[in-house]
Amino acid sequence: MCAELSALDGAGSFKEDRWQRPGGGGGISAVLAEGALFEKAGVNTSTVWGEFDDVALKKLGGGERAFHATGISMVFHPRSPMVPTMHANFRFLRRGADSWFGGGADLTPYYPQRGDVIAFHQVWKDTCERHGSGLYDRYKRWCDQYFYIPHRSECRGVGGIFFDDVRDDPEAAFAFVTDACRNVVAPYLPIVERRRDEPYGERERAFQLFRRGRYVEFNLVYDRGTIFGLATHGRPESILMSLPPLAGWWYDYKPEPRSREADAMAFFQPQDWLATER
């Protein structure tokens, strides 16, 4: 994956860090910074285990202290505001005798193009439907609910799929996760190629930083992976790898009526993107 993304970037390469977690486990963090396409891109793998301390137990709930977690996560923050950010992660957790799968993939454009959003969702629908009728509809709704930012009354982006606590059929869940991992970059590459050379200026860059602020707010306040990683004393550099290198907050920002920015904001609500395709 890192080799494929480096080739796509055309200039940058990944720096790989191997780390150990006090108490059990570790992982590999690979980050590309200041590339031609990606301002920051990261691919993390980790396998950690141990016991929750009192602080973690209070934050995560339940009474079982023993845990084991393994997963892969990735995020691609492009330099150009015309190219969307993409995030994905897939994980397996065990807590005592209980175990489950979780994960998903989602798209966060700054200047969304409906055709790109539809194409992204269609690829994930095709992947989901290989493993069960109706799976996409269920995971798409779950994604819309998960990546909703209540204090902003809007979504982080335009969604994709998300699932968690999937435990009923472990073999079927693993088969789905395996298929999803093998195809995770496929819906993103065509969008990058269509948008990477589109011109932009300071106004578009400022709006990108504003929307990145929403990304940061979600990840630090609501994201389960961030909460779990910090609660279990994971490596902060790896846990917070998903954050963009630059973001912005402007007091009471409102886009100009009928502007491209106002049009973009209309995308950040749950919608049935494939309604016209059915």
**pLDDT for the residue numbered 278:** 46
**What percent of the chain has pLDDT above 90?**
85
Banded model confidence at residue 276, pLDDT cuts 50, 70, 90: low
**What percent of the chain has pLDDT above 70?**
99
Q: What is the DSSP letter of 242?
A: G
Q: Which of 68, 77, 87, 121 is catalytic?
A: 87
- The answer to whether residue 93 scores a pLDDT higher than 90 is yes
Cβ-contact 181, 72 below 8 angstroms: yes
Query: What single letter denotes the amino acid at residue 60?
Result: L
Domains of the chain, earliest start first: 2-277 (3.40.1500.10)
- Tell me: the pLDDT tens digits for 104-121? 999 999 999 999 999 999
- Tell me: the pLDDT tens digits for 211-234? 999 999 999 999 988 988 888 888
- Tell me: the pLDDT tens digits for 184-201? 999 999 999 999 999 999
Angle made by CA atoms 68, 73, 79, in degrees to the nearest 5: 160
Residue/partner pairs of 96-101 with CB below 8 Å, 24 or more apart: 96/64, 96/66, 98/64, 98/167, 99/167, 99/170, 100/164, 100/165, 100/166, 100/167, 100/173, 101/163, 101/166, 101/167, 101/170, 101/173, 101/174, 101/177
**Summary mean pLDDT of the chain:** 94
Q: Is residue 87 annotated as part of the catalytic site, yes or no?
A: yes
**pLDDT for the residue numbered 55:** 80
- Tell me: the pLDDT tens digits for 15-66? 999 999 988 999 999 999 999 999 999 999 999 999 888 887 777 777 888 8
**pLDDT for the residue numbered 208:** 98
- The answer to whether residue 207 scores a pLDDT higher than 60 is yes
Per-residue exposure over 172-202, b if at least 16 CB sit within 10 Å of its own CB, e if not: ebeebbeebbeebbebbeebbeebbeeebee
Check the CA dihedral 176-182-184-187 and report its sign: negative
